[in-house]
Copies of this chain bind each other. A is one copy, B any other.
Amino acid sequence: MDNINIKVLAKKLNLSTSTISRAFSGSTDINKDTRERILAFAKEHNFLPNHYAANLRDKKTRTLAVIVPEIANDFFAQAINGIEEVARKKGFYILLYRTDDVFEKEVSFVNYLNNGKVDGIIMSVSGEANDHNYLKTLAKKNIPVVFFDRVYEDIDVSKVTTNDYESSFEATEHLISTGCKRIAYLVVNKSISIGKVRMQGYADALAKHGMVFNDELVVDCSQDEKINYSIIKNALEDLKPDGIFSSVERLAVAAYYVCNDMNISIPGDLKVVSFSSLQIAPLLGLSTVTQPAYEMGIKAATLLFDELDKKGQHVFKKTHVLKSKLFVRKSSAI
Alpha-carbon distance A289/B88, docked complex (angstroms)? 34
User: Does A41 make an interface contact (CB < 8 A)?
Assistant: no
Q: Which of A44-52, A157-165, A169-177, A239-247 contacts B (4 or more CB under 8 A)?
A: A44-52
> Of B2, B133, B283, which is within 8 A of A2 by CB?
B133
Contact between B284 and A51 (Cβ–Cβ < 8 Å)?
no
The 0/1 profile, CB within 8 Å of B marked 1, for residues 276-297 of chain A is: 0011101110000000000000
Contact between A52 and B97 (Cβ–Cβ < 8 Å)?
no
The 0/1 profile, CB within 8 Å of B marked 1, for residues 92-134 of chain A is: 0111111000001001110110111100000000000011011
Alpha-carbon distance A184/B52, docked complex (angstroms)? 47
Chain B residues closer than 8 Å to A94, beta-carbon distance:
95-97
User: Does A152 make an interface contact (CB < 8 A)?
Assistant: no
Chain B residues closer than 8 Å to A282, beta-carbon distance:
257
Chain B residues closer than 8 Å to A43, beta-carbon distance:
104
Alpha-carbon distance A126/B154, docked complex (angstroms)? 43
Counting every copy of the chain, the complex holds 2
User: Does A81 make an interface contact (CB < 8 A)?
Assistant: yes
Q: How many whole Å from A128's CB to the nearest CB in chain B? A: 11
Q: Which of A14-22, A69-77, A196-204, A210-218 contacts B (4 or more CB under 8 A)?
A: A69-77
Chain B residues closer than 8 Å to A74, beta-carbon distance:
72
User: Does A260 make an interface contact (CB < 8 A)?
Assistant: yes
Alpha-carbon distance A114/B51, docked complex (angstroms)? 10
Find residues 10-50 in chain A having any chain B CB closer than 8 Å to their own CB.
43, 46-48, 50
User: Does A78 make an interface contact (CB < 8 A)?
Assistant: yes
Chain B residues closer than 8 Å to A284, beta-carbon distance:
280, 283-284
User: Does A253 make an interface contact (CB < 8 A)?
Assistant: yes
User: Does A80 make an interface contact (CB < 8 A)?
Assistant: yes
Alpha-carbon distance A294/B199, docked complex (angstroms)? 34
Chain B residues closer than 8 Å to A84, beta-carbon distance:
98
User: Does A256 make an interface contact (CB < 8 A)?
Assistant: yes
Chain B residues closer than 8 Å to A253, beta-carbon distance:
279-280, 283
Interchain Cβ contacts under 8 Å between A and B, 6 examples: A2-B133, A46-B134, A72-B77, A72-B81, A93-B95, A94-B95
Please report A residues at the B interface, Cβ cutoff 8 Å: 2, 43, 46-48, 50-53, 63, 71-74, 77-78, 80-81, 84, 93-98, 104, 107-109, 111-112, 114-117, 130-131, 133-134, 137, 253, 256-257, 260, 278-280, 282-284
